[in-house]
Amino acid sequence: MIILWSRDENLNNFKAFHIHMDKKVLIFIVLIVIISFALIMVYPSDSLLLSPQEAETIFGGKWGVLLNDTNLKSVHTITIYHVNSANLTKQQSLEVKSIEEEVLVGDVNSTNVELTIVVVKFSSNNSWSEILGNNTNYYKYNGYYVTYSATSFTYPKTIIMAYNGSTLIEITLDGYQASFTQVKEILSDLKI
């Protein structure tokens, strides 16, 4: 039984209305609501930075999404300090508009690989060459300035940093040494 209360404005008192509902119908409605909330919380959003199918095309093997936090929209301020020996040479504050993170896991040639993608968007264009240091060891691809390191010493790993305007991308591959061709494919397939 469901009880609804209503106020009688003329008499300034409350009346109770009783609605009789079958228990099975009420349980069914409650289950639908609980399942809907559970699916919303557990199922990843549709906006993936890189889909498992695209990762399979680039690296081979079988891939799946482990973490999809592509809807983290918040404003933070980051302060960067440039230090030369013991002297503080410059201080710069940046306002973060959004941070998106996605983690994919894959099985490539019987090796477990973890691909982490972090995209940080700032509220204004920044001089990344000045912020990251005057690094001239970068590649220019598709509007991005790309710095990457790939090694197989002790454990295969690839780290990619790319920036374009107000967007900074960090991609880490644990357990895999990627070629620059694969790096370009990742940057081409990202949905930013």
Q: What is the pLDDT of residues 158-189, one digit of tens each?
A: 999 998 888 889 999 999 999 999 999 999 99
Tell me, yes or no, whether 93 and 32 share the same domain.
no
pLDDT tens string 95-125: 778 888 899 999 999 999 999 999 988 876 6
Q: How confident is the model at residue 87 (pLDDT cuts 50, 70, 90)?
A: low
56 and 38 in a common domain: no
Residues 176 and 117 reside in one and the same domain:
yes
State the total domains in the chain: 2
Pairing of strands 144-151, 73-84: unpaired
CA distance 20 to 83: 73
The pLDDT confidence band at residue 60, using thresholds 50, 70 and 90, is very high
| Tokens read off for 60 | 């081979």
Same domain, 35 and 101: no
Radius of gyration of the chain from its Cα atoms, rounded to whole angstroms = 26
Give the helix ranges, DSSP H, for the chain: 23-42, 52-59, 128-131, 180-189
What percent of the chain clears pLDDT 90, i.e. is strictly above it?
Answer: 30
Out of 1-10, 39-48, 85-94, 101-110, least confident range: 1-10
Q: Beta partners for 3?
A: 18
* Residue 102: closest CA among 40, 186, 1: 186
CB neighbours (10 Å) of residue 31?
A: 10
- Is residue 136 very low, low, confident or very high in pLDDT (cuts 50, 70, 90)? low
In a domain, 28, yes or no: yes
Query: Is residue 47 in some structural domain?
Result: no
SS3 23: helix
Over 90: is that where the pLDDT of 68 sits? no
Report d(CA 109, CA 179) in Å as an integer. 16
**Is 85 in the same domain as 157?**
yes
Q: Is-contact 116 68, C-beta < 8 A?
A: no
